[in-house]
Amino acid sequence: MSPGRFNFNRLTNIKMNFGQAIEALKEGKKVARKGWNGKGMFLWLKPAATVKAEWCKDPMLRAIAEKNGGEIPALGTICMFTAQREILSGWLASQTDMLSEDWEEVTGVII
């Protein structure tokens, strides 16, 4: 089975700094840096949620949730769709990312 295609359009006429990109994530938008080398990379905010033990495939997470009465709060996190077509949870910005002003909103993600 061949992997699906991931394409998106960027609003290239609207450049943002890092703070504006974070605000866009909080509004539910996806963002990316024009300066990133990987094509198709973007970030989104996975909101906080309550994780129920029966949903967990990870044995450690399931045990923690069960010990906590069958569910546990999970904090929100910034996720990245990488150039290798993988999902990275808990993306961390580099100093270059934080100081750059080439952030753009990502629209029209086609999976």
Which single residue is written with the structure tokens 């300066």? 35
**Tally of CA atoms within 13 A in the half-sphere of 6 that contains its CB:** 14
108: confidence class by pLDDT, cuts 50, 70, 90? confident
Q: What is the reported pLDDT for 12?
A: 54
In which domain, by residue range, is 24 found? 7-110
CA of residue 86 relative to chain centroid, distance: 11
In a domain, 89, yes or no: yes
In a domain, 1, yes or no: no
Q: What is the pLDDT of residue 2?
A: 46
Interval 52-68: pLDDT, tens: 999 999 999 999 999 99
Does 79 have pLDDT greater than 60? yes
Q: Which of 35, 53, 49 is nearest to 79 (CA)?
A: 49
> Per the domain annotation, does 2 fall within a domain?
no
pTM greater than the 0.75 cutoff: yes
Residue 79 lies inside a defined structural domain of this protein: yes
- Other Cβ atoms closer than 10 A to 22: 18
Note the pLDDT tens digit of each residue in 13-26: 689 999 999 999 99
| Domains of the chain: total | 1
pLDDT at 61: 94
